[in-house]
Structure formats: C-alpha cells, structure tokens
A and B are shown apart, each in its own frame.
Chain A
Amino acid sequence: MKTITGALRTRAGVIAATVLAVVLLLAVIGPLLAPYDPLKNSTEILQPPSAAHWFGTDYLGRDVLSRVLAGAPRSVFTAFEAVGIGLVIGVAPGITSVYLGRVYEWITLRVMDGLIALPFLIFAIAVAALLGNAVHQAMIAVGILLAPSFYRITRAAALNHANAQYVTASQLFGASMWWVLRTHVWSKILPTLVVATANATAGGLLIVSSLTFLGIGVVPPEPTWGGIVASDLSYLTQVPYGPVFPSLFIMATVGALNLLADAIRDTSGDYGRARILRRGASRVRLT
C-alpha cells in the first residue's frame, strides 16, 4: 500500500495515475461511449475536426473518435497480456537460477541470452504471421521477448539477497528453500519488479501499436490505435494531422506508465522497506 501512497504523494505520481485511470476506463467502457458506429462508412470522408466529429473522419468517412474509443481495449489489454506472459516466463527462472545449482543457472542464462539476441519486432512479426496472424500469437511472442529483462532484473535482485546473513540464518534454522524464497526473497524483489513491470508495459504498448500499425495480429476493419495511424498514412497530403489523435493516446498512456514507474522508483527507496510495500505493489501490477 505504501508504494502507491508514496508515489501518489508526488505530483508526477498523481498525474500518471490520473491519466492511467482515464485510459483504463476508456479501455473498459470506451466502445460503449463511441458516438458513431466505428465500422460504418459514410460519404463525409476526410473531414477536419468539428462539433459533430471531434477528431474528424477518415478516408472511408468513419468517425475517428469512435474508432479510437472502440480500439482502446484491443490496444491496451493486449499489452497487459504480453507483460503477463513475460512475467510468468521471466520471473520464476530468474529467482530459481540463484538457488537451483550451476547447471540450471547456465542453461537459463544461455536461453535468455538467446532470446535477447532475437531482433524484437521482426521475430514477433514472424511468430504472429507463421502461427496464423492472430493477436494472441503475437502477444505470446512479445511476452517471450520481454521475459529476459524480467529474468535479469529478478535474478540481479535475488542475487543481492541470496547470500544475506538473515537468509543463511534461516537456512541454518532449517527453513526450506521455498520458505526462504517466499518470505525473504520475494518481498525484497517486489518493488524492483513493480517498476520493471510498469516500464515493460509501456514498452509492450509501443510494440503492440507498432505491430497493429503493420497490420500484424488484427483483421483490417477492426480498429486499433496503431491501425488507425496506418490507415491515415496514404492521405497525409490531404490530412497531415490525421495520425495526431491516435498517436496522442498511445503517447499519453506510455508516458503515464513511465512516469508512474519513475515515481514508484523514487519513493519506494531501498529494498529494506519492501515487506510493507508488498500489498500495494501487487495492486500496481494489476493496473
């Protein structure tokens, strides 16, 4: 809890949390708020922003505001999906690599090095396309590629605590490895992990928007923030401001996540206070 209240006491934290709350709200109820049918074509093509169409209309006469709102869930929640997969694949080997012996450590290190060497976007595109161009396949690929950074961060944090005296002490008292991991190590690495998760979600959003921009993982008429930018691209000469509105949504969300990560990092301080931060930390991860 204290992570959140601490971060929310800074101005940056408040701004970031407000923006994120709005974006999340839009992602949940955005499609219901859309004033027009986001898929319906009309004769009013490439209109500038007006009272009737706040963000104007696109080349098929579709209302851009409606498309941005309807695309919100797909643009935001897919990034969470990828980060979730990355957390699952990265964190567990990251912690256990410190405890399960040299051979296991060596293998996980090499696998993660191998994953890091994969060129991010191209690999995600290849996976998504070859496994049947769908959004979940693309997110599995992105999740796998995010895993090494989670692995490295958790491993570094776990290494810091693996040889602490109180860990040795509890081991001497006969505590099992899992008990030590659960009670001592896990709570110590959580703040680091929360910051990393917020940053990774920002990165995930950028990647998702890039993939949807390229048309990977989405079926054309369906709106996504990246996809809306792509459809405006051929009409830049008529409407040079076309990509601005969906871009602003992407940038605001990514910026707010980075800002929140910084605020949490600045206020959570050293690992020593981590135990108190535990409940608040897990709450951040859900948002």
Chain B
Amino acid sequence: MTTLNVRDAAGRVAGPTAAADSASTGPVLTAIARTVVALGRALLIAVPVLLVSTFITFMLGGLTEQDPASLVLGDSATPADVARMREVFGLDKPLLLRYLLWLWSALHGDLGSSWFSKIPVAQSIAERLPVSLSVAVGALLIAVVLGCVFGILAAVRQGGWLDRTVTVVTSVLATVPGFIAAIALITVFSLLVPVLPSGGWVPPSAGLWKWASFLLLPSVSLSLDAAADVARQLRTGMADTLHENYIVGAQVRGLPGWRIVLVHALRNGAGPAVAVLGMHVPRLIGGAVIVETVFALPGIGDLTKTAALGGDVPVVQGALLVTIGVVLISSALVNVLLVKLRPAARREI
C-alpha cells in the first residue's frame, strides 16, 4: 500500500509542506500556512488541467464544419469576400497559433467578439455569470442544509423510519433527470399551488424577496441530486463514526448528545460527504443549462447552448473557459475545506 501512495502522488506536485517548516511559529500561523499551501498547491494542479481542457474546447472550434465567414456573409458572398472575412476572424492562421493567441488575449480579459452580434464575449458572460452563480450558490447551500439535516438524522436514528425513508428517497432521486425534477416542482409550486413564479429572472436590485422567490425553484431543482448524495454519504460516514470508542468516551464523560453528534462525530464523519460535494460542484455549474432552459433564466449555460446551436464559436469557447475556471476554483476551495476538516486528508490532495 505504501508503494501505492507514492505512485499516486507521483503525478501530482510533490514537495515539502510548509506546514512542517512553520511548526515552531505557533498553531494559528501553522493553520494559516497550511491553508495557503493547500490552496496554492490546488491552484498549481489546476494550471495544466486548465491548459488541457481549454485546448480541447478550442479544438472544437477548429473541428466544426461550419465556415463562419460564409455563415456571416450569406450565400451571395464572393470567394474574395469570404477570404477577407476569414482574415478578419484570424482563421487563415494555423490552429495551434490561434489557440496561443486566444489564450494570450484571454489572460488579458479579452475573449474576442461574437461572430454574429459583434458583442464582446467577455461582456455577454459578465452579464450572465451572476445569474448562473446565484443559482449554483443557492443550490449548493440548499444541498448542504438538506443533506446535513437528513444525513445526520438518519445516522442518529439508524434503522428507524426516518433512516429508511431517507434511503428510499435518495435512491429514487438518483434516478430522476434534472429536467423532470424541475418540471415536477413547477407543476406543484406554480400550477397546483401557485406560490412561486414558474420561471424568469429579476435582478436583486428589484427587491431581495422578489429575487429570492425567482431563485428558489431553480436552486432547489438543481440541488436535489447533490443533496441526496450528501445525505447518503453523510449517513454512511456518521454511522461508522458513531461506533468509535471516543464517542462512547464522550458519552461516558457526560457530554450532551447534540454536542457529541455535531462536534465530535460530524467532524470525522463528514469527509466522504465533502468529497462528494466537491464532485457535484462542476455539475452545479455545468448542469445549470437544464435548469436555465426550464425556468427561462438568462444564465451562462443558456448562452452556451444558444451560441453552440447557432455556430457562434468564440462565444462557446469563452463561456466554456469561464465555466472551467469557476469549476477549478471551486474544486480547489473544496479540497482546502477537506484539509481543514480532517488533517488526515492532507495527503490525498
């Protein structure tokens, strides 16, 4: 098993942890240093990942059979016009050079412009990113709350009716595609009991309550999958932890039950749940396209879908780059959280 760990770590960025060096500077500094190092490492790992994934997305534009120049100019364009247009778009250069140029300007915040509307891609994304992010963050919060409440309750009352219900509901939720959950929520909360809007979007400046009411159904339908997974993992993790000797020890010492569960057991039993939550983060951002379609939200998934169907390559590339960036940053944050939660998990980063 030792060899296994070494081999596993071989591909990652290896190096001495600063935590060990700063051990003498006091516990608080050590904790901060550890977090910074973990964050730095996670971001360092993200760089090659970002390069690979953006290269893949860029190749997409190169592989597409649509010729933007003739698409924009229409059928009546002469070959000379098309050739000039290709030059304007920079399509006369080799693909690899185009990728490097695109990456270079992307690093400076310039993602090019839409082939059709000529609107800068960065501007379209800046308009739509807040919508997607607020739905994703809302979904994340709901997933954590629902997952924790039901996971912990099921673990504490193992074998009880609540435990069995949670098991059944989470297994059923795993079979429901996101769009069906969204439609079911609309049917119940907008048609049968009309209390929430069935779709659309208002900015927070129009009133926080109004904003939240438009946000609630999309967030809930996006969160169900993650909530079910978190509840299941938390139940398993906590159920194991609650049988540990130190839990019995804490009970013998006369600590209140809620304290044992929420402080002692949760900290050690939450590892798998946090890891699963980390795996769900890309889905909360990438899966938002379904929710955005059903609820008619002007988000980044909707932008990508429309642009892709219209063959607007720069918009697709820019939107995918931003989405990947958000995914990588949030994964790094989850990894750091995992380290904070369980120092033993440090090795796995």
Verify B4–A123 contact, CB threshold 8 A.
no
Asked, given contacts A110-B52, A258-B171, whether A126 binds B320 with beta carbons under 8 Å apart, the answer is yes
Provide the bound-state CA to CA distance between A5 and B77, in Å: 66
Residues of A within 8 A of B309 (CB): 129, 133
Interface string of B277-293 (1 = CB under 8 A from A): 00000110111011001
A47 vs B237: C-alpha distance when bound (angstroms) = 49
Contact of A127 among B60, B65, B180, B186 (CB under 8 A): B60
Mark contacts of B173-207 with chain A using CB atoms, 8 A cut-off: 1 yes-contact digit, 0 otherwise: 01111111001101100011000000000000000
Interface string of B302-340 (1 = CB under 8 A from A): 001100110101001001100110011001000000000
Q: Are the C-beta atoms of B53 and A117 separated by less than 8 Å?
A: yes
Contact, CB under 8 Å: B324 / A118:
yes
Q: Does A226 touch B at the CB level, under 8 Å?
A: yes
Check B45 for interface membership: any CB of A closer than 8 A.
yes
Query: Closest Cβ of chain A: how far from B192's Cβ, in Å?
Result: 7
Partner of A122 from B52, B61, B64, B320 at Cβ < 8 Å = B320
Q: Given the complex, which residues of A lie within 8 Å of B53, measured CB to CB?
A: 114-115, 117-118
Tell me, rounded to whole Å, the shortest Cβ–Cβ distance linking A181 to chain B.
Answer: 17
List the A residue with the shortest CB-CB distance to B290: A210
Q: A114-B56, A117-B327, A160-B4 are in contact. Are A210 and B177 (CB under 8 A)?
A: yes
Interface: A4 (CB within 8 A): no
CB distance from B22 to the nearest CB of A (A): 29
Using a CB-CB cutoff of 8 Å, which residues 94-122 of chain B contact chain A? none
**Interfacial residues of chain A within 118-143, with CB under 8 A of chain B in the complex:** 118-123, 125-133
Q: Given A105-B10, A110-B11, A120-B286, are A129 and B57 also a contact pair (CB < 8 Å)? A: no
Instruction: Give bound CA distance, A130 to B313, whole Å.
Output: 8
Report which of B184, B293, B323 forms a contact with A214, defined as CB distance below 8 A: B293
**A195: Cβ under 8 A from any B Cβ:** no
- Chain B residues positioned under 8 Å from A284 (CB to CB): none
Residues 236-273 of chain B, each 1 if its beta carbon lies under 8 Å from chain A, else 0: 00000000000000000000000000000000000000
Contact A114:B177 (CB < 8 A) given known A122-B323, A130-B308, A236-B187:
no
Q: Within residues 55 to 90 of chain B, which ones have a CB less than 8 A from any CB in chain A? A: 55-57, 60-61, 63-66
Nearest chain B CB to A177 CB, angstrom units: 16
Q: Which residue of A lies closest to B293 (CB)?
A: A214
A102 within 8 A of B: yes
Q: Per a CB cutoff under 8 Å, which of A163, A213, A250, A254 touches B290?
A: A213
B65→A131 contact, CB < 8 A: yes
Chain A residues within 8 Å of B177, by CB: 206, 209-210, 213, 226, 247, 250, 254
List residues of chain B with CB within 8 A of the CB of A121. Answer: 286-287, 289-290, 301
Interface SS, B side? helix
Verify if A166 is at the interface (C-beta below 8 Å from B).
no
Interface membership of A237, Cβ < 8 A: yes
* Residue B48 at the chain A interface, CB threshold 8 Å: yes
Q: How far is the CB of B230 from chain A (nearest CB, A)?
A: 17
Report the contact-size class of chain B (Cβ under 8 Å from the partner).
35 or more
Q: State whether the Cβ of B49 lies closer than 8 Å to any Cβ in chain A.
A: yes
B192–A240 CB distance below 8 A: yes
Any B CB within 8 A of the CB of A32: no
Residues 90 to 127 of chain A near chain B (Cβ within 8 Å):
98, 102, 105-106, 109-111, 113-123, 125-127
Minimal beta-carbon separation of B4 from chain A (angstroms): 5
Beta-carbon nearest neighbor of B12 in chain A: A109
List chain B residues, Cβ under 8 A from A229.
179-180, 183
Contact A117 B64, beta carbon cutoff 8 Å? no
| Bound Cα distance A247, B316 (Å) | 30
**B91 interface contact, C-beta 8 A:** no
| Residues of B contacting A122 in the complex (Cβ-Cβ under 8 angstroms) | 286, 289, 301, 304-305, 319-320, 323
Flag whether B172 is at the interface (Cβ < 8 A): yes
Is A27 among interface residues, defined by CB-CB distance under 8 A? Answer: no
Q: Give the distance in Å from the alpha carbon of A142 to the alpha carbon of B10 in the complex.
A: 29
Q: Which residue of A lies closest to B287 (CB)?
A: A121
Is B7 part of the contact surface with A, judged by Cβ < 8 Å? yes
A residues near B11, Cβ cutoff 8 Å: 102, 105-106, 109-110
B8 is an interface residue with CB less than 8 A from chain A: yes
- For B46, the chain A residues whose CB sits under 8 A away are 117
Since A119-B282, A131-B64 are in contact, a sample of 13 more A-B pairs with Cβ atoms closer than 8 Å, ordered by chain A residue number, is A111-B52, A113-B52, A120-B283, A121-B289, A125-B304, A129-B305, A131-B65, A202-B175, A209-B179, A210-B177, A210-B178, A240-B187, A247-B177
Residues of A within 8 A of B (CB): 98, 102, 105-106, 109-111, 113-123, 125-133, 159-160, 163, 202, 206, 209-210, 213-214, 226, 229-230, 233, 236-237, 240, 243, 247, 250-252, 254-255, 258
- List 7 A-B residue pairs with CB atoms under 8 Å apart, sorted by A's residue number: A117-B331, A119-B324, A122-B289, A125-B308, A159-B8, A163-B3, A254-B177
